[in-house]
Amino acid sequence: MAITYGTATTFSSGAAGDNIDLTVPTVNDGERLLVIVGQGAGTAVDPAIEDMNAAEGFTEIENTGETGGRDHSIGIGLKVAASESGTYNFNLVGISSGVDRVGICLPIIGSDGLDVTYVKATHYADVTNDPTPTSPAITTVTNNAEVVLIHLCTHLALTAVAPTGYTIRADITDSANRNIVVATKLVATAGVETPGAWAHTDGDAASEGITVTLALKPTAAGSATRRYSLSLAGVG
């Protein structure tokens, strides 16, 4: 069945601090949650994110800090929802006064997790002086997998535009240095998917950033639509 998405929760702060706090979105047990947290410019230090599994039980997919130009960091995690509630709390490592902190938590419905093992050497790119990069290609192995593009950009301004054929599922573009965009595409027949370039507007030619490509496997059986039960006590 086709993978669908719930409504994401977001975090964005330009104040000094080391926390990234994301409200748990509406999600049913057994569904997946994709979390992306990051930090843009505003500090000479290049922090990573704390261990995402130890912090909130997410399987960590990526956790990297990049230096040069506008320093930036990203952490990506995935988990199966199980009685989720409250707030996920992540912190930067090695800094206590970082600014331009940002995060997204996106519910995924009808997925059995990653379709392709994430390999940093082929699925990750650090971007220099380019607000509209091309995300890495990926080879899906299951029909009807969803390719997921993640772009963290330190200087995007206010308008995000996905590559041709992709749909934006969540984005934060509320400050020049606080930007994460998530876009997806259904790949009906398994094989190589080569995304086109992002087409953000109002970008800065000196933008630094990170782009990551993932693939999600659809569930083998059952519906990707959330199911709700109705009790009709006293009827009949």
Instruction: Tell me what pLDDT residue 82 has.
Output: 96
Mean pLDDT, consecutive 10-residue stretches, the chain (236 aa), reads: 94 84 96 92 61 90 79 90 96 69 95 97 89 93 97 76 95 79 97 93 76 96 46 39
Distance CA 65, CA 160 (A): 23
Cβ-Cβ contacts under 8 Å for 149 (sequence gap 6 or more) = 135, 162, 163, 166, 181, 182, 183, 184, 185, 195, 198, 211, 212, 213
pLDDT at position 65 is 78
CA distance readout (Å), 55 to 92, 134, 135, 188, 209: 11, 31, 28, 36, 25
Q: What is the dihedral of CA 50, 55, 57, 63, to 10 degrees?
A: -10
102 near 12, Cβ under 8 Å? yes
CA separation for the pair 224, 174 (Å, rounded): 31
Residues forming a β-bridge with 197: 134
**What's residue 120's pLDDT?**
96
Q: What is the model's pLDDT at position 236?
A: 39
DSSP secondary structure letter of residue 227? -
- CB crowding 181-203: b at 16 or more within 10 Å, else e: bbbbbebeebeebebeebebeeb
pLDDT at residue number 229: 38
The pTM of this model reads 0.89
User: ∠ CA 212-218-223 to the nearest 5 degrees?
Assistant: 140
Q: What's the pLDDT score for residue 54? A: 86
Query: For 113, what's the count of Cα atoms within 13 Å in the CB-facing half-sphere?
Result: 12
Q: Is the Cβ–Cβ distance between 151 and 198 less than 8 Å? A: yes
